[in-house]
Amino acid sequence: MKNIRVGVIGLGWVAQVFHLPVLSKIDDVEIVAVCDKDKPRSRSIADKFDVTNVSTDPRQIIDREDVDAVLVTTSTDAHHPIVTAALAAGKDVFVEKPIARTYHEAKELTELAHKEKRKLMVGMNNRFRPDTMILKSFVEKGELGKLFYAKGGWLKSLSGTNPWITRKDKSGGGVMLDLGIVMLDLVLWMMNFPKVSHVSGSVYNHKTRSVEDTCLATIRMAPDCVLTLEVSWSLLHAQDYFYTNLYGTEGSALINPLRIHKQLHGSLVNLTPASSETPNAMYRKSYENQLRHFMGALRGLHPVISTGEESMERMKVVEAIYKSSRTGKEVKLA
């Protein structure tokens, strides 16, 4: 079976630290070309990963006949035009989260992927962490009973690696589109995508201007489930904090670190599997698992996980949170 030939567009830290190292180690994948608007960076990274073809123009990557799939890891404002061009050119696409700046842009990309019969996967690497995959298997087996409440949060200092992220025209939004959409996706995936019915949210920009640096939300889902979400770049916290808690009628589970408890014969029993992996190792492994999954999907081994359709639903909830914050009212989703 021939190699899958990949072009990578956007060579920021995620591509440098995760995507390119992972792709370079997959035996049946060939990195054919790389692209970034920063020409010296493009050349330096291409040399590091032994890539011959270098460009500052995404179109030159997309139009190559020897490129089967495109990875888009640019700033969010560039996702829509680049993914549109790649799908129209007959390429399968992996695009980092969020899929786009708005629900409307996400819908256009998803519909185009269907029209062109191409695969479109959105990077949600936390689904591919070893601990979250273990917990997902427990949930699917019904070990926690009926899930009715979840809490998710990510408190993290604002990084200086992507200064565009605090510019609304570039990012589409602030911490909710950076960290919140990841936590929202993780919980909804864990709970097998219950339908979101009502959303209320508050956003704050204490240390930013055009986008929010803190977002707090309550999300009600059918049938009778509730998610509370907190994400921030600026909450005064001693260290970065990433967590997901699930509560069911027969047990509960927490992520980071993984803990699973189930009620048996009137006692709460610890069912947590033993693990020696560190949080950093699991974070790195999530990117490897994610890209290996995408390559397997391109070979027809399994359907794509984290599709454009799912990302559309996440964007719909994000926009409802923003609307709720603007109006001071709960928003009902159709």
Give the model confidence (pLDDT) of 155-197 as tens digits: 999 988 889 999 999 999 999 999 999 999 999 999 999 999 9
- Return the CATH number of 127-286+313-332, one of 3.40.630.30, 3.40.190.10, 3.30.360.10, 3.20.20.450: 3.30.360.10
Q: What are phi and psi of 43, to 5 degrees?
A: -65, -40
pTM of the model: 0.96
Q: CA–CA separation, 247 vs 262, rounded Å?
A: 10
Q: Is the pLDDT of residue 269 over 70?
A: yes
How many Cβ atoms sit within 10 Å of the Cβ of residue 5? 16
Separation of alpha carbons 13 and 32, rounded Å: 19
Handedness of CA 287, 291, 292, 297 (dihedral sign): positive
**Residue 181 in contact with residue 263, Cβ under 8 Å?**
no
User: DSSP character for 193?
Assistant: -
**Residues 273-299 pLDDT 10s:** 998 888 889 999 999 999 999 999 999
For residues 309 and 90, what is the distance between their CA atoms, to the nearest angstrom?
A: 19
Residue of 56, 53, 108 lying closest to 85 (CA atoms)? 108
**What DSSP state is assigned to residue 274?**
P
- The CATH number of 4-124, from 3.10.20.30, 3.30.360.10, 3.40.50.720, 3.40.50.300, is 3.40.50.720
